Structure 1
Amino acid sequence: EATATTQTSTSGKTENIVQIKFTGKGAKKFGDVTSDHVNERLAIIYDDKLVSAPNIKSAITDGECVIEGGFEEFREAENLASTLRIGALPLELENIHDNVVGATLGSTALETSLIAGIIGFILVALFMIVMYRLPGVAAAIALSFYILMMLVVLNVLNVTLTLPGIAGIILSVGMAVDANCIIFTRIREELSKGQTVNSAIKNGFKNALSAIIDGNVTTLIAAFVLYLRGSGTVKGFAQTLAIGILLSMVTAIFVTRWLMYAFSGFGAGNVKLYGVQKKHKTIDFLGHSKIYCIVGAVVIVLCVGGLIFNGTQRGSLLNYSLDFVGGTSTAVSIDENTEITDELKDEVVDVVKSVTGLNGEVSSSDDQGVKKITIRTTALTEDQSAEVRSELAKKFNTTEDKVESETISASVSNEMQMDAIIATLIAVACMLLYIWIRFRHIATAGAAVLALCHDVLVVFTVYVLFGQFIQVGSTFIAVMLTIVGYSINDTIVVFDRIRENRNKANSRDDLKEIINRSITETLSRSINTSITTFIMVFMLAVLGVSSVRQFAIPLIVGLLAGTYSSICVASPLWYLFSGRGKAAVKKTETYSKSNKKGVEGGSRNRKRDKGKQ
């Protein structure tokens, strides 16, 4: 044990010292050493560096001693005491993750992402105004406030933005837009009933509240679990998602409401400014269940076939990044006028081999005018990686900030995989438990989880079929988590409308008709939400660098799959699992037959009465 304290010297001066106490075995060993080296210096070495070298005045056999002199400030004594305590621990520090990104490369990724975000936001705002008129203006203002607050909170909390973090923001933006779409659809429905604008706003918000809360709370539960159980990558996603969800609920429920009442109060009471929900013919979605089954079967066949092909022809089922297999990736940026040839790639291999003695896998890219040659090897030491960067910079006559590298140990990559899988499974289980409790039927949770599996399978198939261009790594985790949140939210909105229509229905209503009507009523909201989220992600795919594009393209597929599954997978499965579909049909048929007999009986009675007259 080592502690920093003070003592009074013989001259009456207070001095800073370090007091040390040894255990039984340690006391004996220390006694032997000090007995043999009186009036010599005892070197204290930590991490191969000399920290202190006090003089041994006498043999110390009682297991207690002090280091005195040389500590002008108490903090110096505290630092030495801390070093002694840490040095007593039976551990050795190991570099498990090392990432060096060139300033130019990092700024390019940030700049393109910001431009994509700004353009995407402008397009989303214009889309909302065109689709919802005056409420769309309120949504655009509320979303601007949301983004401003998001930036403030991220800055105050000093949150470092990564691709998974950006994914969390995109999902929360999508949910913020979705909340507005739900509210405005409800307001239009109330206006179509002949209500005044103020009454429509009041009832519209009231009717939309349950779907908004259920969708956001479900995703918030997932974010909380992912933050507690996930690794750094997953934590970044969960943190920005949770912040975004809380802010999006505030802006949708309070800011948008206030703006709507403000517009109405300033004389914007013309119904045409808000639009009236048109009644659409109910679409028989459940009647096409066989087609949905065929589509699902095709996806499964493509996925399995792709895995078999990858395993036999490429030697690996998926194209794993360093995050999942470990190793070192080193990339050098070359002049944009230089043509990337096989000879140039061989030169990179030769440089790395001369430093490390290792061969590696070489690839090249030309992204946003930045040409790069990347080589992947087994994990290098910190010194090896630094020397490789230096030699590559010399070879290509450039500066070291044009060379980036990343090293992840195999143990960490395995830990990241397990953390991500366990965290996701727990999060999904908690979300489904909440859905079960809220909708009071196990069929609801069962249908939601299978629809979720469908969406995950679709995105996974994209990684299988296009593995040559898209790697499975931290971005894969971010995409899957985003799809889980988006899919669950989309499904809940449809289920909420089914629940509402069932509560309003009488015994004559067929469950199948109720579900079809509910899907039809929420169809415009589902499409509009998908379009706005698609716009944001699409701009990232078009303007972003390759790493951003590897995240955006699968996410686009997942968003489309989530919209499709909430309409064509989740609801038909709920109808199938509920076990009430056939019962409802029989009840309707029984009512129709008895009603028909009653009408016929009434006709005969009238004829009989007429005959008696």
Structure 2
Amino acid sequence: MKRLKKGQGVAWLVVLLACIVGFGYLAWNIVTATVSGKDDFDIRLGLDLAGGVSITYQVVGDTPSSEDLNDTVTKLQKRIENELGSDSSTTEASVYPVGDDRITVEIPGVKDANALLAELGTPGSIYFIAQTDAAGNQNYSYDSTTGGYKLNYDLNDLIANGSVILQGSDVKNATATNQQNQTTGATEPVVSISLTDAGTKAFADATTTAYARGESIGIYYDGQFVSVPKVNAAITDGKCVIEGMSDFDEADSLASYIRIGGLNLELEELQSEVVGAQLGSSALSTSLLAAAIGLIIVMIFLMIMYRVPGVAASLALALYTGLMLFILWAFDITLTLPGIAGIILSIGMAVDANVIIFARIREEIAAGKSVIAAIEIGFKKALSAIVDGNVTTLIAAAVLGVLGSGTVKGFAITLALGVVLSMFTALVITRILMNALYAVGLRDQKFYGKAKAMKNINFMSKKAVFFACSILVICVGFVGMGVHGAKGDKALNYSLEFLGGTSTTVEFNEAYTLAQADDEIVPKIAEVIGNNDVQTQVVDNTNQIIFKTRSLDLEQREALNTMLENDYGVDESAITSSNIGSTISGEMRSQSLLAVIVAAFFMLLYIWFRFKDIRFASSAIIALIHDVLVVLALYAVARISVGSAFIACMLTVIGYSVNDTIVIFDRIRENKKVLRDETPESLQTLANESITQTLSRSISTSFTTVVMVLMLLILGVTSIREFALPLLVGIVCGTYSSICIATELWYVMKVHIKGKKKAN
């Protein structure tokens, strides 16, 4: 960058400060609007923050065509609009296909999510069946035992012989309404139906025959008859009404069956989640508070440690935060709880690029360079480490985005966005600010600091101790898993995402101990659901209790909510339930392993490509596998719940670990250029020197990232805490492995595994 004159420096400072203030003001409005629920500047919130309902459906039968899948999505969207009201300002339903044979419905912001789930129902196929077939045989008959009608023949046989007059795709719409009875003059509820062109012709022929015979036409949905109206006239215009409803609710329910049965595909529920608005609001406010406190601490740390560069970095970080919130709002990106964790983590990681640059500047000043020259050289020398480190983190985010789902994707998006923005603010904004501050008169070396000469620490001599300690910790994890497996428990504390079942989180009006919950509440839950297998988890320092049971249907979930409301005075908005099918849980386990393997593979390729030496790449990958196993040991010993956040946590640890390792490897690559020979002694000196030179950077970056995650651990809600604790351990472990494992592995490989000699 060209050296700035004083006037130019002042101009740049004014422009950038105006941008910081402007984006800061906008960010404040966005945050306040989001927290208060106003829709002028609010960010779109996911279910875990806004409350609401999410359902994932599986298409029954063969994989459908894309046309049928998209048509079903459209009709289901209209179905939801009919239930919510298309002009609703408090809800914004989202219906979208997932893969080739699934559809997900997400409706944030609804107050009575269980009632909506009941109204939405399980989409299935609906059939209009003639009372008799062409030969005069009765297709269905009244069953006095059940008090309802039943099929006399298999449904597929009835479709084949033409007794099924209409199917759901022949129905345009069905609505409940009131009409005046022509005989009595009284107003009565009816169901008004309109048909497609093809349905109109078929229905005209069928009703003409049924009217002549004095017969009915049965409406069959989801394995039972929902109505069997008698045909009182031939209907030739494609419009008819069903009479005989006892009240408007019955008419509305029947219309609902007919509408949802009009989908092209039959769907079954795979997974559902109901989040209480009260818990979502608490998660949002505590996470934002954690971010604000962590950001302030990081800024103070930067200014104390790095003086003028720290001030520039803090201002750039403020702009970074404002830009992040602006982009989320401007591009209508859905913000989830893991997404907030991704932002907070990326704030901590955004400091890394600045710290690398500042360390380089101090080294150049110590080498006798002028401040302005040191700034220029420092940015150039730091570029390769910054780019390589951030690309590896982007690889982890990309894998999450491709292989993850739901809230994990939200984490991936915000993490990737944070990495890109952090590079921009560090390499562009911080650089402009530092040059501007120098131009306006802050030129003395004391404002920038000077690297102190440090005696090389002989890390290589302790490599056997480091390796032994790591192996011991990893073995403890495997032993823990083996012990739990031998006792009949799962090796890890798998959550519902991995096992399937229903989890219900309840915010009680008072705190209960685990013993009290097991003695007083669990028996009542077991009675409601008809099963004694209820696992209980009391959340420390809160009134929350998590109950895990076998999969519960909607009726059982509603009964459980009613019991909690009546017996314990629990507000329904303080209840969150999640229902995971076995199919989803099986896929989650396989996706977790695949995500780690894919991320490690692409990182291996990238490091190999950038460093032109497989020994750099392989030692970095072994070190990150080490970090994964250490964090896995924590999950095993502490019995932390292994759920969807587990994938995000592991891949984040991988990205962070490699990022830290690359900084040291980059210094080895640079120092190696002046190495005269590659004897074991000289390589040992090279490794020790490179670690020592980057040690302060490693500690500073770890501190700032730890601060951000620690705020989540202290202030976050339950789901965030379960994510934050292993992430915290992973960050510390990643720093340790970069210093004490990865470089030592490279040294061992370099000494004992000879590479190809370059031709003269």
**Could you say whether these structures have the same fold, taking a TM-score greater than 0.5 normalized by the shorter chain as the test?**
yes
Whole-Å Cα distance in 1 between the matches of residues 727 and 403 of structure 2? 23
Aligned counterparts of 2:311 and 2:216: Cα–Cα separation in 1: 77
For 1:150, the equivalent position in structure 2 comes to 324
Deviates further, 339-348 or 118-127: 339-348
Match of 2:436 among 240, 262, 267: 262
Give the structure 2 partner of residue 120 of structure 1: 294
CA deviations 1:34-74 (Å, max 9, x no partner) are 673368897777779999x9999989xxxxx984699xxxx
Q: Give a deviation string over 1:99-149, Cα, whole Å, max 9, x none.
A: 32351x332232222222211111111111111111011111111111111
> SS in structure 1 opposite 2:269?
coil
Match of 1:334? 508
Kept after mapping to 1: 8 A contact 2:512/2:538: no
| Aligned partners of 1:349 and 1:360 also within 8 Å | no
C-alpha spacing 1:246/1:486, structure 2 compared with 1 (3 Å): same
SS state at 1:283 partner: coil
The equivalent of 1:557 in structure 2 is: 729
Q: Equivalent residue of 1:99, what SS?
A: strand
**Once the two structures are superposed, what CA deviation does each residue of 1:420-456 show, in whole Å capped at 9, x if it has no partner?**
3223321221121111111111111111110011101
Equivalent residue for 1:455? 627
Aligned counterpart, 2:247: none
Deviations, residues 508-549 of structure 1 (Å, cap 9, x unaligned): 782222222111111111111001111111122222233322
Distance change (3 Å), C-alpha of 1:237 and 1:344: closer
For residues 38 and 491 of structure 1, the distance between their equivalents in structure 2, rounded to whole angstroms, comes to: 82
- C-alpha change, 1:106 and 1:37, in structure 2 (3 Å) is same
1:390 has 2:562 as partner: yes
Q: 1:451 to 1:41 in 2, by over 3 A?
A: same
Match for 1:479 among 649, 659, 670?
649
Please report the RMSD computed on the Cα atoms of aligned residues, expressed in angstroms. 3.5
Tell me what 2:666 maps to. Answer: 496
Instruction: Answer yes or no: is the 8 Å Cα contact 1:226–1:424 preserved in 2.
Output: no
Q: Which of 324, 327, 330 is the equivalent residue of 2:498?
A: 324
Aligned CA distance change for structure 1 residues 405 and 271 (closer, same or farther; 3 Å): same
Measure the CA separation in 1 of the matches of 2:283 and 2:294: 16
SS for the counterpart of 2:725 is: helix
Q: Percent identity?
A: 45
AA aligned to 2:486 is T
2:638 maps to 466
What corresponds to 1:299 in structure 2? Answer: 473
Q: C-alpha displacement at 1:576, in angstroms?
A: 2.2
Aligned match of 1:111: 285
Shift of 1:354: 3.2
Do structure 1's residue 354 and structure 2's residue 527 form an aligned pair?
yes
* Contact residue 2 and residue 84 of structure 1 kept, 8 A: no
2:268 equivalent to 1:93: yes
> What's the CA shift string for 1:464-521, capped at 9, x where partnerless?
1111xx2111232222121011001111111111111112333478222222211111
| Alignment match, 1:10 | none
- Contact persistence 2:399–2:595 (CA under 8 A): yes
SS at match of 2:538: strand
Looking at structure 2, the residues matched to 66 and 448 of structure 1 have their Cα atoms a distance apart, in angstroms, of 73
CA distance in 1, matches of 2:225, 2:312: 63
Deviations 1:234-265 (A, max 9, x none): 31221111111111111111111111111101
Stretch of structure 1 that moved more, 477-486 or 153-162:
153-162
1:207 aligns with 2:381: yes
Matched to 1:147, the amino acid is T
Is residue 2:745 matched to residue 1:577? Answer: no
CA contact (8 A) 1:54 1:67 kept: no
- CA–CA separation in structure 2 for the residues paired with 1:539 and 1:344: 29
Does structure 2 retain, via aligned residues, the 8 Å contact 1:393–1:402? Answer: no
1:529 to 676, 682, 701: 701
Take 2:455 and 2:535, find their aligned partners in 1: how far apart are those partners? 57
CA contact (8 A) 2:509 2:569 kept: no
Q: Does 2:691 match 1:515?
A: no
Q: Which moved more, 1:200-209 or 1:392-401?
A: 392-401
Q: 1:380 matched to which residue of 2? A: 552
Note the 1:425-436 alignment, pairs <5 A: 425-436=597-608
TM-score (norm 1): 0.81
Aligned equivalents of 1:100, 1:250: Cα separation in 2? 37
Query: Deviations for 1:196-252, whole angstroms, at most 9, x for unmatched residues?
Result: 221111111111111111111122123223212222243122111111111111111
Output the amino acid matched with 1:146: Y
Matched, 1:164 2:352: no
Secondary structure at 2:673's aligned position in 1?
helix
Cα distance in structure 2, aligned partners of 1:425 and 1:276: 42
Counterpart residue identity of residue 670, structure 2 = E
1:360 to partner: Cα distance: 3.1
Q: Which moved more, 1:353-362 or 1:432-441?
A: 353-362
Kept in 1, the 8 Å contact 2:295–2:347? The answer is: no
Check 1:250–1:57 CA distance in 2 against 1; reply closer, same or farther (3 A cut).
farther
Q: Select the residue among 425, 446, 459 that pairs with 1:251.
A: 425
In structure 2, the CA distance between the partners of 1:355 and 1:503, relative to structure 1 (3 Å rule), is same
Kept after mapping to 2: 8 A contact 1:345/1:373:
no
Tell me if the contact between 1:511 and 1:581 (Cα under 8 Å) persists in the aligned partners.
no
Listed as ranges, the gaps of 5+ residues in structure 1 are 5-16, 60-64, 71-78, 585-613
Partner of 1:590: none
Q: Which has the higher helix share?
A: 1
Conserved 8 A contact 1:181-1:529: yes
Give the letter for the 2:269 counterpart: E
Q: Distance in 1 between matches of 2:433 and 2:196?
A: 66
In 2, are the aligned partners of 1:2 and 1:85 still within 8 Å (CA)? no
Alpha-carbon distance in structure 1 between the residues aligned to 2:537 and 2:408: 28
- Residue 164 of structure 1 deviates from its aligned partner by 3.0
What letter matches 1:176 in structure 2?
Answer: A
Would the alpha carbon gap of residues 37 and 101 (structure 1) be closer, same or farther in structure 2, given more than 3 Å must change? Answer: same
2:179 maps to none
Deviation at 1:392, TM superposition (A): 1.0
Letter in 2 for 1:293: F
Pair 1:197-2:371 in alignment: yes
Q: Which residue identity does 2:530 align to in structure 1?
A: G
- Report what 1:241 is aligned to: 415
In structure 2, relative to structure 1, the CA distance for the partners of 1:349 and 1:267 (3 Å cut) is: same
- Higher-RCO chain (CA-CA 8 Å, sequence separation at least 6): 1
**Secondary structure at 1:93's aligned position in 2?**
strand
SS at match of 1:94: strand
- SS of equivalent to 1:133: helix
* Cα distance in 2 for residues equivalent to 1:426 and 1:236: 19
Matched to 1:361, the amino acid is V
Q: TM-score, normalised by structure 2?
A: 0.66
